[in-house]
């Protein structure tokens, strides 16, 4: 195999790293920092789905009636002095809302009002507030139905609220949106949720928006989480520095840390540029990247140390070129194998798992680059600086 000229191409490698970091810094300035998730920014986070209301269900009997969604079908539980009775309405048996309403009306005390009888019952949604205790006040049941509502329409509906950020979740046809906003003044989670719900109802019709998830994070919790995340990354870097210092030498340890800092900064730049949400998943991706990149760097440095013992007559530059070349097959196989495992998650998964997979794919490429093209170059520079300093000290001692 042809020898990889790591040291000869050092200027190109460093220039590429600097350009990528500069792009990340510019993107953070342009976008005013990271797109922080609800974990790292105090406020309210709502996940809503635009879906038409199919029917409303009320109960006037003497028992306790609870309506829930189980496996894509409605289930009615009646609890009284004579025990508990559960009635399930499978979507296969009652395919439309009209069929479902007719079946529900057969239960004593249950009344329904149909809004759209043609909707498929298999698309029933279990939103925030389900299971629901039925009363004389009708409980609205929604059903997912593909429509052409865009994120711009949702932004327009909430245009009057300052500091609101909206993202599409999953496929556009699902009509699921993530809404985040900070609380100000005397606002509470309940009042802000009600305000957003009223605005969406006014734009898309009353009871046509389902709250799938509601999260609230206070300012103390978010600040402590940010502090803990930063400390966890710094602690990992310090422990790595000590480990490599003990196993190899100080020059090896500093070179590894510089390469890892490059990896972390470049991943954060990528996240800022792509406007990915920064959450606890991001911290997990960064720590995973540190572990992967460090392992690759140690393999190469271990080969450098062996070659230094076997061929002491060769310069350090020649030794790192040979070491990277000898380790390249192992590096390539391990990287490709990991990519094969992660790629399906990036393509098929949704939510935080999808973001984690995308960030890890980028991290694998960056980590492989830094371990092979940057860390060995840093090792040469630091070793030469140490030798120069030692020579100057010896000369001054004479």
CA 186 to chain centre: 31
| Residues 1-56: tens digit of each pLDDT | 678 888 888 899 999 999 988 988 888 888 777 777 666 666 778 888 888 888 99
Count of beta carbons in the 10 Å neighbourhood of residue 305: 16
Look up tokens 């103390």; give the residue.
220
For residue 340, the 8-state DSSP code is H
Query: What is the band of 64 on the pLDDT scale with cuts at 50, 70, 90?
Result: very high
- The closest of 117, 120, 137 to 65, measured between CA atoms, is 137
β-pair type (73-80, 83-89): antiparallel
* Segment 384-393 mean pLDDT: 82
How far is residue 259's CA from residue 330's CA, in Å, rounded to a whole number?
19
In this structure, of 48-52, 85-89, 228-232, 318-322, the range with the lowest mean pLDDT score is 228-232
How far is residue 165's CA from residue 156's CA, in Å, rounded to a whole number?
12
- With b meaning 16 or more CB within 10 Å and e meaning fewer, what string describes 102-121? ebbeebeebbbebbeeebeb
- With b meaning 16 or more CB within 10 Å and e meaning fewer, what string describes 9-31? ebeebeeebeebeeebeebbeee
Q: Which pLDDT value is given to residue 282?
A: 85
Q: Which pLDDT value is given to residue 223?
A: 64
Look up tokens 């790293």; give the residue.
17
Average pLDDT score, the chain: 84
| Residues 91-134: tens digit of each pLDDT | 889 999 999 999 999 999 999 999 888 888 888 887 777 888 99
pTM as predicted: 0.65
Mean pLDDT is highest, among 184-188, 220-224, 228-232, 369-373, for 369-373
Count of beta carbons in the 10 Å neighbourhood of residue 288: 16
- The closest of 361, 25, 355, 363 to 167, measured between CA atoms, is 355
Q: Which pLDDT value is given to residue 238?
A: 82
For residues 191, 193, 195, 200, the Cα torsion angle rounded to the nearest 10 degrees is -170
Query: What is the band of 221 on the pLDDT scale with cuts at 50, 70, 90?
Result: low
Is residue 58's pLDDT more than 90?
yes
| Residues 277-314: tens digit of each pLDDT | 787 788 888 888 888 888 888 889 888 888 888 888 88
Note whether 209 and 50 are within 8 A (CB): yes
For residues 36, 236, 381, 310, the Cα torsion angle rounded to the nearest 10 degrees is -140
Locate 293 and state its tokens: 């990149």
Q: Which pLDDT value is given to residue 39?
A: 64
Asked whether the CA dihedral 77, 78, 81, 83 is positive or negative, the reply is negative
For residue 144, the 8-state DSSP code is -
Count of beta carbons in the 10 Å neighbourhood of residue 188: 11
Is residue 222's pLDDT more than 60?
no
Note whether 48 and 177 are within 8 A (CB): yes
For residue 163, the 8-state DSSP code is T
Asked whether the CA dihedral 86, 90, 93, 99 is positive or negative, the reply is positive
């Amino acid at each position: 195999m042809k020898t990889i000229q790591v040291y000869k191409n050092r200027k190109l490698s460093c220039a590429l790293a600097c350009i990528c970091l500069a792009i990340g810094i510019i993107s953070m300035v342009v976008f005013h920092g990271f797109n922080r998730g609800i974990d790292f920014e105090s406020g309210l986070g709502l996940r809503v789905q635009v879906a038409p209301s199919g029917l409303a269900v009320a109960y006037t009997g003497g028992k306790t009636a609870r309506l829930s969604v189980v496996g894509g079908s409605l289930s009615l539980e009646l609890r009284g002095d004579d025990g508990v009775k559960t009635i399930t309405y499978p979507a296969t048996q009652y395919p439309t809302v009209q069929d479902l309403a007719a079946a529900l009306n057969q239960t004593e005390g249950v009344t329904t009002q149909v809004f759209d009888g043609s909707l498929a019952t298999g698309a029933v949604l279990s939103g925030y507030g389900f299971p629901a205790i039925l009363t004389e006040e009708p409980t609205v049941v929604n059903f997912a139905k593909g429509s052409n509502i865009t994120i711009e329409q949702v932004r327009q509906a909430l245009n009057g609220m300052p500091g609101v950020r909206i993202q599409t979740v999953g496929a556009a046809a699902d009509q699921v949106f993530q809404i985040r906003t900070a609380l100000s003044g005397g606002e509470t989670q309940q009042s802000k949720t009600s305000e957003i719900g009223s605005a969406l109802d006014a734009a898309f019709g009353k009871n046509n928006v389902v709250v799938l998830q509601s999260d609230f994070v206070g300012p103390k919790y978010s600040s402590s989480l940010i502090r803990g995340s930063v400390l966890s990354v710094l602690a990992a870097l310090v422990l790595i520095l000590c480990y490599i210092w003990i196993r190899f030498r100080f020059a090896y340890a500093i070179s590894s840390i510089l390469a890892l800092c490059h990896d972390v900064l470049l991943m954060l730049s990528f996240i800022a540029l792509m406007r990915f949400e920064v959450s606890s998943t991001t911290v997990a991706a960064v720590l995973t990247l540190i572990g992967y990149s460090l392992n690759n760097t140690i393999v190469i440095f271990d080969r450098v140390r062996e070659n230094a013992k076997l061929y002491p007559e060769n310069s350090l530059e020649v030794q790192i070129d040979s070491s990277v070349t000898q380790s390249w097959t192992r590096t390539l196989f391990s990287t490709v194998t990991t990519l094969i495992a992660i790629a399906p998650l990036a393509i098929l998964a949704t939510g935080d798992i999808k973001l984690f997979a995308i960030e890890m794919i980028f991290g694998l490429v960056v980590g492989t680059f830094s371990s092979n093209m940057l860390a060995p170059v840093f090792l040469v520079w630091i070793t030469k600086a140490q030798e120069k300093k030692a020579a100057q000290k010896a000369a001054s001692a004479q």
